[in-house]
Amino acid sequence: MIVVVAMTGCSAERNTPSGYQGVIEHDDRHLGFRVGGQLREIRFERGDFIDEGALIAVLDVTAELPVLLAREADLARARAKAALVYAGPRVEEVRSTMAELDGARAVLRESRANLDRNRNLPEQAATARSRISELEAAYAQSKAQVRMLQERLKQLREGARPEELAASDAEVSAAEAAVDAEKERLALYALHASERVTVLDVPVRIGEVVAAGATVVTVADTKHPYVDVFVPQQKLSGLAVGLPARIRVDAEGESFDGEIEHIAPTTEFTPRFLFSPTERSNLVVRVRVRISDPDERLHAGVPAFATFASKGE
């Protein structure tokens, strides 16, 4: 019985492919929203391919739209106000002010004439002094009214001052910034793919309330998996990032192209899942090999064996 087990073990050793051992893995990415909300739509299922830029999922924005509408109304109001400032006064406003000024000047002339007549009355008249005081007050009031209307007419003819134009422009800019900020915030309610990936899992369903940062879909670039192989420290000579590699798995008759992507800076003990018990006590270095698998034939978790070309090849 012992002999049979030993022979079986030897046969397994002979059938093990040559090369450094590891396991095929994908760079899993857990995608989610930067804001929380109720999931309204999700367009992909497990196993689907997602093109770069494609819309993956959408949160309900019903409660958020009134805020954007209010910001847009503020912008429309600011633009209308600025248009009035830049347009300047209407002809009717200028004519109306000129008519008021003519009337005020007529009142001023009459006030002046009344004041002059009463100043010439005899001093012994009982009512002369009080009457002159009233007429002087009326004359001063008429004079002030004329000056006020003259200043208003001058402003209408000159148009808006630079400070008024700058203030109206600033109001429009502030309203535009508020609208843009609200649109950017609402854009966070849509989840897009940043690259071409494959859906590995969809842990949520439509109608669920998801928290900010919670996983909505798990994706990976299945055309470029990787394998971490463990090279004994005494065999590191000649290995460098970018060096070509060949990857073999049991299920495929052909090998896959790859290249060294990373070499760990420290050593570690041989992982337990390697197939040669005699090497488990050795110090090894983790070497990551990125694999080209355009037909997506490799599966995560499959044992793989890597061999490396020498630098001169």
Q: pLDDT by residue (tens digit) across 41-81?
A: 999 999 999 999 999 999 999 999 999 999 999 999 999 98
> How much is the mean pLDDT over the chain?
84
For residues 218 and 125, give the distance between their C-alpha atoms in angstroms, rounded to a whole number. Answer: 106
- Residue 19 has a pLDDT of 85
**Among candidates 214, 216, 162, 222, which has minimal Cα distance to 197?**
222
Computed on alpha carbons and rounded to an integer, the radius of gyration of the chain in Å comes to 43
Domain 72-180 CATH class label: mainly alpha
Domain 2-27+221-308 CATH class label: mainly beta
Task: Name which of 95-109, 181-195, 213-227, 253-267 the model is least confident about.
Answer: 95-109
Domain 29-60+189-216 CATH class label: mainly beta
Per DSSP, what are the bridge partners of residue 248?
A: 305
Name the band, by pLDDT with cuts 50, 70 and 90, for residue 279: low
Q: Where are the domains of the chain?
A: 2-27+221-308, 29-60+189-216, 72-180
Strands 49-50 and 244-249: unpaired
pTM given for the model? 0.63
pLDDT above 60 for 10: no
pLDDT above 70 for 17: no
Strands 226-232 and 190-192: unpaired
Instruction: Write down the residue that tokens 């900020």 correspond to.
Output: 181
Q: For residue range 252-272, what is the model confidence (pLDDT) as tens digits?
A: 889 999 999 999 988 777 665
Phi/psi region, residue 101 (left: phi>0; alpha: psi -120 to 50; beta: rest), is alpha
What is the average per-residue pLDDT within 177-192? 96
- Residue 256 has a pLDDT of 95
CA geometry: angle 216, 217, 223, nearest 5 deg:
160
The reply to whether 72-180 shares the fold of 2-27+221-308 is no
Q: For residue range 193-222, what is the model confidence (pLDDT) as tens digits?
A: 999 999 999 999 999 999 999 999 999 999
CB atoms within 10 A of CB 290: 17
The CB-based long-range contact list for 115-119 (8 Å cut-off, 24+ gap) reads: 115/139
What would the two tokens of residue 71 be? 């910001």
pLDDT above 60 for 281: no
